[in-house]
């Protein structure tokens, strides 16, 4: 049985999601989590594009041991050299180089002829192969490329040394039958087809990214490019968890193996959501909060009698434990650590201590602590460690009878000093944010603000997302707390701290 490889591009294509702007340390956390999840390749970034991208590819290359680390390059010598420099210390480095092959891109973007593109492929893929043991070539906009020409380009790339060939649906244009047929066509018309691993890369503009990826696998693709939670350019990429669980659950149909550690799916999803500030909708396939709840009486009755009547995925398979009431006020440190382990988290002693303190604080005010709470607490905690600024204390004077509300905040700066400010506003959030603004003293504008309850009930944790603009760039901060105002302050301080750091 063939094994399908997972090439994760959360840190490259996913990071191109509008509004997403990850710190270097956040990228490292995600990379470590992806290694735990067992993806085959981590696309760490696009080194030539910025100093920050270069540095994060260097840092990820240094810490990842069991997964291939790829860097993206246009089919240009300087781009390829930058990937070489950035991935030098990786245990398994990969060059991922691309050039557009469709008429529309050749004419309007590259202003190159088909012959010129062909010459570049021959020369520069060979150049890359001299530097890297592992070279992936992508024909950008492949699904709108003339098929015959695409087959010639692919054959030339394999002969020049590419061992992985990616056929991206760059603009989310294709459909499953057509995309499947394209792989079939290449299998029949590329003489060296068997000398390379063929790969799919799908975008979700028409909502078919996952279906298209599966069609590619049915027709010989052995690598799937995807992102956690399906984040990415525009409508996003194929969601890793959806492709993975489709292949796993319907092994009888797809007839292939996957090497992922599926118990890490839920924690990976939660971490990426928290660090990118992109909330997961409750009905999102595989990782949404509702996917294992049954509302209809007949369904509830069925699941109680035999879970497989209405559940096709065992929750624990992806790191969701079945009982929602898991821990309470009297749970000890050991039970707590054991449960975190069951959820898929390996914590060091320091993390265990910090998290246990937060957990105990929460049990004082919240009766039922669910897995969703624990996932949220943990990602909040990991975020906190990385935060240069933190909310120390806040005080609000709110009186609905008055037109003006008052707020006082104390914020700890990176040197450990406590800075205090107060302000007034027509609403409590306005007063609070104005006070925080005084401390940061940078030009910024609040663009978006939203609150989501992590779980159900009046004592649920609140997750606040604040999006600000500073110097034309977007920064997102997320804060979690039982108190909405505190979560709001944390989210805003987080976003401003990021803005101030650049
Ligand atoms: Zn893409």
Q: Over the stretch 254-264, which tens digit does the pLDDT of each residue have?
A: 999 999 999 99
| CA–centroid distance, residue 237 to ligand 1 (Å) | 7
Kindly give the distance from the C-alpha atom of residue 94 to the centroid of ligand 1, in angstroms, as a whole number: 17
The two tokens of residue 394 are: 């806040």
Q: What spacing in Å lies between the alpha carbon of 45 and ligand 1's midpoint?
A: 12
Q: Check residues 339 and 211 and name the one with the higher pLDDT.
A: 211
CA dist., res. 153 & res. 136, Å (int): 13
Does residue 477 or residue 3 have the better pLDDT?
A: 3
Distance between Cα 171 and ligand 1 center (Å): 8
Closest-CA residue to 70 (of 50, 86, 52, 48): 86
CA 200–ligand 1 middle distance (angstroms): 10
Instruction: Tell me which residue of 440, 407, 409, 445 sits closest to 423, measured CA to CA.
Output: 407
Whether 202 and 237 have beta carbons less than 8 Å apart is answered as yes
Ligand 1 midpoint to CA 248 (Å): 24
d(CA 373, ligand 1 centre) in Å:
33
pLDDT of residue 136: 98
Distance 284 CA to ligand 1 centre (A): 21
The predicted structure's pLDDT at residue 385: 55
Integer Cα distance of 218 and 361 in angstroms = 50
Q: Which of 421, 443, 448 minimizes the C-alpha distance to 434?
A: 421
Distance 169 CA to ligand 1 centre (A): 8
Residue among 286, 308, 289 nearest 299 (CA): 308
Gap between the Cα atoms of 432 and 252, Å rounded: 56
Distance in Å, CA 61 to ligand 1 centroid? 22
User: How many CA within 13 A on the CB side of residue 380?
Assistant: 27
Closest-CA residue to 390 (of 421, 359, 414): 414
> What's the average model confidence in pLDDT over 465-469?
92
Domain 387-501 has CATH 3.30.160.270: yes
- Confidence grade of residue 323 (pLDDT, cut at 50, 70, 90): low
Measured distance CA(29)–CA(92) in Å, rounded: 19
| Residue 392: strand pairing partners | none
The pLDDT confidence band at residue 131, using thresholds 50, 70 and 90, is very high
Give me ligand 1 centre to Cα 288, in Å.
Answer: 23
What distance in angstroms lies between residue 438's CA and the mean position of ligand 1's atoms?
Answer: 40
Alpha-carbon distance of 415 to 191, in angstroms, equals: 62
Placement of tokens 């906009």 in the chain: 141
**Region 24-38 average pLDDT:** 93
| Residue 334 pLDDT grade (very low, low, confident, very high; cuts 50, 70, 90) | confident
Q: How confident is the model at residue 326 (pLDDT cuts 50, 70, 90)?
A: low
Say how many Å lie between the CA of residue 305 and the centre of ligand 1.
Answer: 44
Interval between CA 202 and ligand 1 midpoint (Å): 7
For residues 372 and 484, the model is more confident at 484
pLDDT mean over 131-138 = 98
* Secondary structure class of 453 (helix, strand, coil): strand
Q: What is the mean pLDDT of the segment spanning 176-201?
A: 98
Give the lowest-confidence range in 115-124, 232-241, 335-344, 477-486: 335-344
Quote the pLDDT of residue 223: 98
- In terms of Cβ atoms closer than 10 Å to its own Cβ (0-12, 13-18, 19+), residue 215 is buried
Confidence of residue 120 (pLDDT cuts 50, 70, 90): very high
CB 119 within 8 A of CB 126: no
Annotated domain spans of the chain: 2-276, 321-384, 387-501
- Tokens standing for 238? 């194929």
Average pLDDT of the segment spanning 127-142: 98
pLDDT of residue 165: 98
| Cβ atoms of residues 437 and 415 within 8 Å | no
Give residue 240 CA to ligand 1 midpoint distance, Å: 13
Distance of CA 492 from the midpoint of ligand 1 (Å): 30
Q: What angle do CA 185, 128, 144 make, to 5 degrees?
A: 30
Q: How many other C-beta atoms are found inside a 10 Å radius of the C-beta of residue 428?
A: 19
Weakest-pLDDT range from 119-133, 232-246, 401-415: 401-415
Considering only CA atoms, which of 428, 422, 421 is closest in space to residue 405?
428
* Greatest Cα pair distance in the chain: 79
Interval 131-142 mean pLDDT: 98
Which is more confidently placed, 360 or 432? Answer: 432
Higher per-residue confidence, 300 vs 145: 145
Q: 146-160, 284-298, 430-444: which range is least confident on average? A: 284-298
- Calculate how far, in angstroms, residue 233's C-alpha sits from the geometric centre of ligand 1: 7
**What are the pLDDT digits (tens) for 399-450?**
888 889 999 999 998 888 999 999 999 999 999 999 999 999 999 999 999 9
Please report which confidence band the pLDDT of residue 22 belongs to, taking 50, 70 and 90 as the band edges.
confident
In this model, does residue 46 exceed pLDDT 70?
Answer: yes
pLDDT of residue 386: 61
The Cα–Cα gap between 44 and 30 comes to 10
Report CA(225)–ligand 1 centroid distance (Å). 9
Residue 265 clears pLDDT 60, i.e. is over it: yes
310: its two tokens: 């209405």
Q: Which of 69-78, 186-195, 322-331 has the lowest mean pLDDT?
A: 322-331
Determine the pLDDT at residue 212: 98
* Mean pLDDT calculated for residue range 183-192: 98
CB contact set of 17 (below 8 Å; sequence gap of 6+): 231, 232, 233, 236, 276, 278
CA-based torsion, 368, 363, 450, 16: positive or negative: negative
Q: What pLDDT score does 292 carry?
A: 83
pLDDT of the residue at 13: 96
* pLDDT (0 to 100) of residue 12: 97
pLDDT band at 20 (very low <50, low <70, confident <90, very high): confident
Closest by CA position to 238, among listed 261, 263, 205: 205
- Predicted pLDDT at 346: 74
Contacts for 70 with CB less than 8 Å, ≥ 6 apart: 7, 41, 42, 43, 44, 87, 93, 94, 95, 96, 136
- The span from the CA of 289 to the CA of 300, in Å, is 17
First to last CA, the chain: 49
Q: Tell me what the pLDDT averaged over the chain comes to.
A: 91
CATH code linked to domain 2-276: 3.20.20.70
Give distance in angstroms: CA of 329 to centre of ligand 1.
Answer: 46
DSSP three-state, residue 75: coil
Q: E strand or H helix at 406, and its extent?
A: strand 405-412
If you measure from the C-alpha of residue 155 to the centroid of ligand 1, how many angstroms do you get, rounded to a whole number? 22
Q: What's the gap in Å between 99 CA and the centre of ligand 1? A: 13
Report, as an integer, the average pLDDT of 117-133. 98
pLDDT higher than threshold 70 for residue 387? no
Contact predicate 160/118, CB 8 Å? no
């Amino acid at each position: 049985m063939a094994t399908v490889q997972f090439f994760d591009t959360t840190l490259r294509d996913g990071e191109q999601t509008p509004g997403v702007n990850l710190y270097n340390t956040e990228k490292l956390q995600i990379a470590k989590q992806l290694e735990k999840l067992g993806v085959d390749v981590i696309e760490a970034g696009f080194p030539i594009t910025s100093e920050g991208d270069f540095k994060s590819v260097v840092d990820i290359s240094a810490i990842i041991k069991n997964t291939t680390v790829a860097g993206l390059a246009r089919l240009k010598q300087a781009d390829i050299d930058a990937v070489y420099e950035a991935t030098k210390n990786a245990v398994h480095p990969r060059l991922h180089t691309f050039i557009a092959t469709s008429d529309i891109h050749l004419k309007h973007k590259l202003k190159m002829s088909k012959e010129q593109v062909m010459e570049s492929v021959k020369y520069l893929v060979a150049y890359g192969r001299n530097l890297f043991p592992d070279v992936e070539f992508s024909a950008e906009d492949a699904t709108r490329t003339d098929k015959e020409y695409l087959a010639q380009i692919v054959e030339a790339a394999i002969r020049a040394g590419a061992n992985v060939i990616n056929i991206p649906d760059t603009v989310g244009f294709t459909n499953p039958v057509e995309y499947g047929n394209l792989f079939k066509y290449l299998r029949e018309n590329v003489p060296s087809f068997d000398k390379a691993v063929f790969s799919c890369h799908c975008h979700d503009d028409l909502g078919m990214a996952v279906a298209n990826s599966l069609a590619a696998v049915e027709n010989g693709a052995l690598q799937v490019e995807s992102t956690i939670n399906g984040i990415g350019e525009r409508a996003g990429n194929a969601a890793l968890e959806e492709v993975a669980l489709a292949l796993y659950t319907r092994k009888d149909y797809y007839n292939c193996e996957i090497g992922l550690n599926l118990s890490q799916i839920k924690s990976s999803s939660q971490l990426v959501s928290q660090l990118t500030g992109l909330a997961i909708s409750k009905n999102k396939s595989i990782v949404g909060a509702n996917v294992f709840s049954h509302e209809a009486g007949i369904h509830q009755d069925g699941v109680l009698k035999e879970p497989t009547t209405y559940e096709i995925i065992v929750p624990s398979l992806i790191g969701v434990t079945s009982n929602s009431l898991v821990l309470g006020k009297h749970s000890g440190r050991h039970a707590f650590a054991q449960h975190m382990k069951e959820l898929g988290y390996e914590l060091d002693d320091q993390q265990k201590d910090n998290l246990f303190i937060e957990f105990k604080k929460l049990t004082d005010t919240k009766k039922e602590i669910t897995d969703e709470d624990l996932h949220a607490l943990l990602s909040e905690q990991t975020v906190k460690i990385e935060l240069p600024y933190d909310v120390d204390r806040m005080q609000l004077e709110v009186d609905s009878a008055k037109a003006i509300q008052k707020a006082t905040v104390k914020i700890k700066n990176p040197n450990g000093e406590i800075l205090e400010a107060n302000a007034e506003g027509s609403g409590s959030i306005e007063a609070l944010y104005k006070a925080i603004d005084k401390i940061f003293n940078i030009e910024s504008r609040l663009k978006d603000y939203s609150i989501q309850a992590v779980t159900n009930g009046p004592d649920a944790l609140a997750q606040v997302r604040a999006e600000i603009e500073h110097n034309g760039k977007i920064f997102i901060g997320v804060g979690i707390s039982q108190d909405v105002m505190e979560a709001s302050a944390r989210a805003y301080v987080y976003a401003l701290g990021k803005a101030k750091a650049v």
